[in-house]
């Protein structure tokens, strides 16, 4: 076994092609933002009932995945699994890139993105949003520091472990904050649940690992490096465990609601009568993004099955966030219990939402920002190991 060597990727024509493609997506997102800025959100699919649309789905997915992508590094630094050590630099870099992409979408979908300075300087500390701004900014600093101590030669392993531990605790706080954006909304029956925070944490484990695996494999392919089958299958099994945990927390989320009679309506909506949301829940989130990936990695573990499982977990994850964010708003608020609303302002009916192309472009632009940032990172920094073949992966003690 040779020593782990980290090298920048070379700017080959295929790397340039990918960069140009990603740049096109970022450009499309930029055009969308300018158009929305000019005309107002009227040209998007949002309205006064569904106030957070597709951009929020992408933003929340990326922010949740950001803390999850750091897992690989945490497994190495905090939990001492040596096989993960060579990947931990890129894990830290990718988590920063994911947060950057997610926050870009979130900020650019504001009604007044030009007032970002106000959001940075005027805080209301009873707002979980304001706390999140501190958590997000702190994440950049702490994970950036963690990446730096990993890269600086001559620093003690203890220092790396301490930085890794700080980053691990911070990422748990960050995802707790993201989940609490919904968990603490007491007025809406689709949210208002303490389980949102731990649910978001397990979601982050699954989404982040899936995103990490796919991004790493693409970068390895582009730079002609080897990623061993045994290592990949091992990480695939871990992904399967995370997916099972997401399904478990999702089951508890719904079972708790079903038990309380007052929440029977919203559960009937999500699980049986919600149209697109019911379909997304059972077909995409549970089956395609949950059961099938588990079957793939546990029943037929292979390189291909791990790759497919990762892709399906991301598709299922986007569906899950869509059901939580948009489905939670689509279900009507119960303002007049015991009454049927004969006339009113979309009262008591399921609110409709059709995403616009502008919102899709903005959301995909966020993914492109993430991938571009990660790509630039591996081009200029020595974070990607040259060889992850099974023979070269350190054995765990």
Partner 1 sequence: MSKCAELTRRDILKSGAAVTTLSLASGVTLMAFGGSDADAAGADAGKRWGLLIDASKCDANCTDCVTACKTENGWDAHGDHASPETSSAWIRKVTLKDRQTGRKVSAPVMCQHCDTPPCVDVCPTGASMKRADGIVLVDKHICIGCRYCMMACPFKARSFVHEPVHDQSVNAPRGMGTVEACTLCVHRIDKGRIPACVESCEAAGHSAILFGDLKDPDSPISKALEAYPSIALRDDLGLNPAVRYQNL
Nearer to partner 1, 192 or 390 (CB): 192
Which residues does residue 388 pair with via DSSP β-bridges, in sequence order? Answer: 227
- Site stretch for partner 1 (CB under 8 A), options 47-55, 208-216, 219-227, 386-394: 47-55
Nearer to partner 1, 258 or 333 (CB): 333
Please, which contacts does 189-193 make with residues 24 or more away whose CB atoms are closer than 8 Å? 189/262, 189/263, 189/265, 189/266, 189/331, 189/333, 189/334, 190/266, 190/270, 190/324, 190/327, 190/328, 190/329, 190/331, 191/324, 191/328, 193/253, 193/256, 193/257
**Integer Rg of the chain from CA:** 21
Cα 168 to its chain centre, rounded Å, is 16
Rounded Cα–Cα distance for residues 43 and 52 (Å)? 14
Which tokens belong to 165? 């531990």
Choose among 373, 246, 250, 318: nearest CA to 59: 318
CB of 101 to partner 1, least distance (A): 18
User: Which H or E element spans position 187?
Assistant: none
Nearer to partner 1, 348 or 394 (CB): 348
Nearer to partner 1, 122 or 397 (CB): 122
Contacts (CB under 8 A) with partner 1, residues 87-116: 110-116
Residue 261 near partner 1 by CB under 8 A: no
Could you report how far apart the first and last alpha carbons of the chain are, in Å?
16
Angle (CA) 101-203-318 rounded to 5° is: 55
Nearer to partner 1, 186 or 395 (CB): 186
Contacts (CB under 8 A) with partner 1, residues 11-30: none
Rounded Cα–Cα distance for residues 16 and 334 (Å)? 53
Interface pick for partner 1 out of 20, 157, 299, 342 (rule CB under 8 A): 342
Tell me, residue by residue from 293 to 332, as one string, x for binding to partner 1 by CB under 8 A and - for no binding: ------------------------------------x---
Residue 35 near partner 1 by CB under 8 A: no
Residue 2 near partner 1 by CB under 8 A: no
- Site stretch for partner 1 (CB under 8 A), options 2-10, 43-51, 265-273, 289-297: 43-51
CB of 208 to partner 1, least distance (A): 25
CB of 48 to partner 1, least distance (A): 5
Choose among 265, 256, 260, 253: nearest CA to 333: 265
Nearer to partner 1, 180 or 216 (CB): 180
Are the C-beta atoms of residues 246 and 314 closer than 8 Å to each other?
no
User: Which H or E element spans position 143?
Assistant: helix 128-151
Are the C-beta atoms of residues 130 and 177 closer than 8 Å to each other?
no
Choose among 368, 376, 321, 354: nearest CA to 30: 368
Contacts of 23 (CB under 8 A, 6+ apart): 368, 372
Interface pick for partner 1 out of 82, 339, 380, 396 (rule CB under 8 A): 339
Total of residues contacting partner 1 (CB under 8 A): 53
Cα 204 to its chain centre, rounded Å, is 6
Residue 216 near partner 1 by CB under 8 A: no
Rounded Cα–Cα distance for residues 319 and 243 (Å)? 14
Nearer to partner 1, 64 or 238 (CB): 64
Nearer to partner 1, 124 or 261 (CB): 124
Contacts (CB under 8 A) with partner 1, residues 176-205: 181, 184-188
Contacts (CB under 8 A) with partner 1, residues 267-296: none
Interface pick for partner 1 out of 20, 42, 157, 299 (rule CB under 8 A): 42
Nearer to partner 1, 16 or 339 (CB): 339
CB of 61 to partner 1, least distance (A): 18
CB of 110 to partner 1, least distance (A): 5
Nearer to partner 1, 124 or 156 (CB): 124
Nearer to partner 1, 129 or 259 (CB): 129
Rounded Cα–Cα distance for residues 349 and 362 (Å)? 29
Contacts (CB under 8 A) with partner 1, residues 119-178: 119, 121-124, 126-130, 133
Residues that bind partner 1 in the complex, under the rule CB under 8 A:
39-43, 46-49, 51-52, 110-119, 121-124, 126-130, 133, 181, 184-188, 329, 333, 335-336, 338-347, 351-352
């Amino acid at each position: 076994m040779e020593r782990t060597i980290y090298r920048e990727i070379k700017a080959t024509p295929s790397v340039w092609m990918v960069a140009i493609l990603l740049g096109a997506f970022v450009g499309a997102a930029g055009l969308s933002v300018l158009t929305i800025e000019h005309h107002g959100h009227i040209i998007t699919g949002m309205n006064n009932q569904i106030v957070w649309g597709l951009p929020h789905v992408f933003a929340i997915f990326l922010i949740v995945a950001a803390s999850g992508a750091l897992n690989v590094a945490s497994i190495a630094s905090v939990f001492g699994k040596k096989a993960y050590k060579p990947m931990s630099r890129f894990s830290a870099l990718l988590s920063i890139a994911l947060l950057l992409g997610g926050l870009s979408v979130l900020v650019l979908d504001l009604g007044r993105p030009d007032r970002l300075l106000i959001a940075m300087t005027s805080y209301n500390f009873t707002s979980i949003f304001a706390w999140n701004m501190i958590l997000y900014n702190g994440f950049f600093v702490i994970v950036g520091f963690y990446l730096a101590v990993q890269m600086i030669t001559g620093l003690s392993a203890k220092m790396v472990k301490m930085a890794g531990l700080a980053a691990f605790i911070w990422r748990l706080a960050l995802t707790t904050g993201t989940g609490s954006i919904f968990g603490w909304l007491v007025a809406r029956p689709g949210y208002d649940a303490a389980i949102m925070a731990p649910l978001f944490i397990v979601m982050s484990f699954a989404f982040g690992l899936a995103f990490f695996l796919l991004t790493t494999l693409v970068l390895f392919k582009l730079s002609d490096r080897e990623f061993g089958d045994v290592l990949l299958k091992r990480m695939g099994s871990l992904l399967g465990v995370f997916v099972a945990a997401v399904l478990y927390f999702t089951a508890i989320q719904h079972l708790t609601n079903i038990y309380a009679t007052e929440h029977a309506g919203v559960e009937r909506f999500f699980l049986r009568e919600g149209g697109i949301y019911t379909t997304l829940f059972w077909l995409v989130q549970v089956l395609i993004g949950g059961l099938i990936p588990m079957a793939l990695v546990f029943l037929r573990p292979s390189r291909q099955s791990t790759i497919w499982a990762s892709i399906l977990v991301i598709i299922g994850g986007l569906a899950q966030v869509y059901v939580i964010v948009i489905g939670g708003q689509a279900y009507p608020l119960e303002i007049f219990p015991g009454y049927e609303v004969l006339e009113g302002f979309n009262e008591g009916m399921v609110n409709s939402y059709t995403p616009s192309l502008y919102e899709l472009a903005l959301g995909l632009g966020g993914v492109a920002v993430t991938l571009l940032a990660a790509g630039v990172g591996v081009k200029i920094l020595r974070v990607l190991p040259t060889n992850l073949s099974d023979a070269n992966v350190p054995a765990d003690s």
